[in-house]
Amino acid sequence: MAEETLHTSISPIDILQVADTVAQEKGISKEDVIEAMEAAIQKAGRSKYGHEFDVRAEINRDNGDIVLKRFMEVVKDVEDKTREISLKDAKKKNPDAKIGDFQSTVLPPIDLVRIAAQTAKQVIVQKVREVERKKQYEEYKDRVGEIVNGVVKRIEFGNLVIDLGRAEAILRREELLANESFRRSDRIRAYIYDVQSDTRGPQIFLSRAHPQFMAQLFKQEVPEIYDGVIEIKSVARDPGSRAKIAVSSNDSSIDPVGACVGMRGSRVQAVVSELQGEKIDIVPWSEDTATFVVNSLAPAEVSKIIIDEDTKRIEVVIPDDQLSLAIGRRGQNVRLASVLSGWEIDILTEEQESDKRGQEFKEKSKILIDALGIDDVIAHLLVTEGYSSPDELTSVSPEEVTKIEGFDSTIANEVIEKAKDFVSKRNKKIDQEIEKLGISRELLDLPHIEPTDLFILSKSGIQTLDNLADLSSDELIEILDASKLKAKQADEIIMAAREHWFKDDEEKETEIETNTKDATSEEAKKKTDMKATKESS
């Protein structure tokens, strides 16, 4: 059946000219406009012939001719008579038809005057909007992390809609500073922290409370930061109240703090003004953790620091009269210092630290007294020298212990023997309990796992490597003591427990490869034997 061009008061050439004109005016491709026209004509065709039919419109890109067709898919068993045709019936029209093909039938022409004036316009406008939104998203998705200037267009439930010129952005109420208020037509600067694609267009989210907003403001005000001579290492903010920023210099002749402050404080004051008077502490960064933490807690003075690498905690000892200064109002100073340094900081006065050390000393001494049956004087001397458990005494020589004041070889040997005897009996008892409970001893080979942990795990049904490997880090921390086990340690335990899974997979792959090679070799040998037999014949 010959294809028929649809009747319309608009000539084919006019259609192409209209498409070209719209494309130029809206700044989109001519192909997008023609596709929008096809969608409009297709919509009108389905309205006339039935929405249940697969009706499609095609505009010839060369001469502008419009053809409306109905498509049907060739299938084995017809379930939808409006969109499907059996293979048997399809072969009547086309002997070469096969399942999965589409057969088309040209539909009678329809009047496109009203369509061109109404439906096509609506669809084209929608298509133009879609293309514009796509262009906006492509433009702004790579601008996350930048500061932009805009004008407050309207206020919706406390959230600001900002006109950026080529797009609109959202500044939520919680992303504003506490003491800020803006009205319609006010100019505003904010930080792009996220851009998302949405059916309504790109969603651009702005913030003035984000820590990186302050960092980007310093980058604009301090040329040395923009040029990379000074580097911002970390930022911590209590928006609208107080902030800390750690900086370092790649040039030893340039003071990073002084450069950020500027002549008579001009540079930092410009940032403070933009942040509505937010107090900013500029901290010199240091690779040495202790030094950096001391700098972060300024202006408070620090007497001593005790670092615990395993738990990522730091105890900071300060003079009694510096306590309120170190903690800050409502804990603000120490909280910001903790965020800035990435360490959990515990503040202790000298008196509190002394009491804590005294209590720990008593507890460690009692452990040795109860375990070894020694008097408190000997226990105190051992703890003072750093021996806080029987296990530590089993691995030292008598000569090392005799170096302690008041110890001779007889006392040293006696203490070490008692420690070995205690540890041996304790381990034997633990072994019996482990065997009794059916706990796999492989768990003891895992990092950070102690014998007492096995009994806690067993109560939760964790008795084998596979049981433990199935857990998440959070679940393991919940089962064991959270104050003892940190996220990093839990991750190491879980990964160590899963190692045998990877080994098993590797062994299976190796076995498959070996079997494949053997089979290939056997096949090759058979072919060689057959060839040799034929040649001998």
Quote the CA–CA distance of 36 and 30 in Å, as a whole number.
10
Quote the CA–CA distance of 361 and 388 in Å, as a whole number.
9
Residue 6: the pLDDT is 45
Residue 4: the pLDDT is 44
Helix axes 289-296, 332-341, angle to 10 degrees: 150
Q: How far is CA 343 from CA 127, 231, 243, 309, 311, in A?
A: 52, 20, 17, 10, 9
Q: How far is CA 470 from CA 62, 444, 459, 467, in A?
A: 63, 17, 16, 6
**Domain(s) of CATH 3.30.1480.10: residues in the chain:** 12-130
Under DSSP, is residue 308 helix (H, G, I), strand (E, B) or coil? strand
What DSSP character marks residue 350? H
CA angle 331, 337, 341 (to 5 degrees): 150
Cβ neighbours of residue 200 closer than 8 Å, sequence gap 6 or more: 133
Residue 8: the pLDDT is 44
Residue 1: the pLDDT is 40
CATH topology of domain 144-209: OB fold (Dihydrolipoamide Acetyltransferase, E2P) (2.40.50)
Quote the CA–CA distance of 211 and 336 in Å, as a whole number.
11
Q: How far is CA 385 from CA 358, 372, 381, in A?
A: 15, 17, 6
Is there a contact between 267 and 242 (Cβ–Cβ < 8 Å)? no
Is there a contact between 4 and 67 (Cβ–Cβ < 8 Å)? yes
**Domain(s) of CATH 1.10.150.20: residues in the chain:** 440-537
Residue 222: the pLDDT is 93
CA angle 127, 130, 135 (to 5 degrees): 130
Quote the CA–CA distance of 321 and 199 in Å, as a whole number.
59
Q: What are phi and psi of 455, to 5 degrees?
A: -70, -35
Quote the CA–CA distance of 81 and 53 in Å, as a whole number.
9
pLDDT tens-digit profile, the chain (537 residues): 444 444 444 455 567 787 788 777 766 778 877 887 888 788 878 877 888 888 888 888 888 788 888 888 888 888 888 888 888 888 888 888 888 888 888 887 766 545 544 655 666 677 667 777 777 787 788 888 899 999 999 998 888 999 988 788 889 999 998 888 888 989 999 999 998 877 666 788 999 999 999 999 999 999 999 999 999 999 999 998 999 999 999 998 999 999 999 998 999 999 999 998 999 999 999 999 999 999 999 888 888 888 888 778 898 998 888 888 888 888 899 999 999 999 899 898 888 888 888 888 898 889 888 888 888 888 888 888 888 888 888 888 888 888 888 888 888 888 889 988 988 888 888 888 877 878 877 777 788 777 777 788 888 888 888 888 888 888 888 887 755 677 778 888 888 888 877 765 555 555 556 665 555 566 655 555 655 555 554
The H helix count followed by the E strand count for the chain is 21, 15
What's the distance, CA 479 to chain centroid?
A: 25
Quote the CA–CA distance of 519 and 418 in Å, as a whole number.
63
Residue 440's nearest CA partner among 394, 482, 500, 488 is 500
**Domain(s) of CATH 2.40.50.140: residues in the chain:** 144-209
Alpha helix stretches (DSSP H) within 189-238: 211-221, 223-226
Q: What is the CATH number of domain 12-130?
A: 3.30.1480.10
Residue 269: the pLDDT is 93
Max CA distance (Å), the chain: 118
Does the domain at 440-537 match CATH 2.115.10.20? Answer given as no
Residue 25: the pLDDT is 74
Phi-psi region of 157 (alpha: psi -120 to 50; beta: other; left: phi over 0): left
- Residues in the chain, total: 537
Tell the burial category of 175 from Cβ atoms under 10 Å away from its Cβ (0-12, 13-18, 19+): buried
Is there a contact between 97 and 74 (Cβ–Cβ < 8 Å)? yes
Is there a contact between 497 and 464 (Cβ–Cβ < 8 Å)? no
Element (H, E) at 339: helix 332-341
